Amino acid sequence: MLLLATLVGCNYAGTRRELSGCINDVFLMRQILVRQFGFEERNVTVLIDNNTHLMTEPPTGANIKRALDRMVQRARGVRRAHLFFHFSGHGTLLRGGPYGRPHDAIMPSDSNLITDVDFRRLVDQVPQTATFTMVSDSCHSGGLIAQEREQIGPTASALNRAGGGGGRRTRFLPYETVLQHLGVANLHQLERHMVATFGDDASALFRHARAPVPVPRPNSAILLSACQLDESADEQDNYGAFTLALSNLLRGPNDVGNHWEVVTLARSMLQQRGHTQQHPCLYCSNDNVGRLFLS
């Protein structure tokens, strides 16, 4: 089976949005993929916003999407493939405007937001012979693949509850902060700014704002999110708290469990460590709930 991975870490060094653990998350997950799951190092793409450790492309929106597209293209014509994407960095939630519902997004190093609509379009291009697993250690990451089936998560969102993590550094980027950072006043201006700045590399959500989200086709996409749509993701010991919990589970003495077990155990571990406002979620088809992680 062909195993491909793209790992992205954004610490945003020198900015008011600076984080401390995202690049550490990337190297931790890289080690786990190679040692525990048999990924070849040459098939693991690393994009970080600090090249001290490794020469990589910067994790801009365009570079991240190109790396993901390359994985999908390589999976075509292969009997079996597993594509893995891990993102550590800020997440945000887009509210208001013509979209009809909130949309969650990740924040690349150049602020070219990648939204849940982009991930929906991506996984709909994954060949039927491949599986796409996504881990997002970012705030508002629940539902980052638009219209993917919720298996573990809230039955209803309380969107006004999002906030900090009790004094911990969190990967929470308020919507208002995103607007201020980009110099726009509302979502309509954000849409125009993104298209004017990034052109065809801007999110499909902004380029086709009034088009309906594509109806998902049957796929093998699996999303493990660090938290619910309305929650923040904490950092702990210079790592993402969720990534750290996952690493403990994946490197533990017991066999790796199925997706339901992994997310349930990660939830329990975070609660025991004091991250009581953070609840990891699972989004996938019914068939993939009981499937072993990265199998």
| Catalytic residue flag (residue 259) | no
Q: What share of the chain is helix, strand, coil (3-state, %, to 5)?
A: 35, 20, 45
Tokens representing 189 are: 């201006």
| Catalytic residue flag (residue 139) | yes
Asked if 234 and 271 touch (Cβ cutoff 8 Å), the reply is no
| Distance, CA of 51 to CA of 189 (rounded, Å) | 33
Phi and psi at residue 23, in whole multiples of 5°?
-70, -35
Helices (H), the chain: 22-37, 61-75, 116-123, 175-182, 187-198, 204-207, 241-250, 259-272, 286-289
- With H, G, I as helix, E, B as strand and everything else as coil, classify residue 268: helix
| Distance, CA of 68 to CA of 119 (rounded, Å) | 10
- The active-site residue out of 90, 140, 259, 275 is 90
- The active-site residue out of 10, 22, 139, 227 is 139
List active site positions. Answer: 90, 139
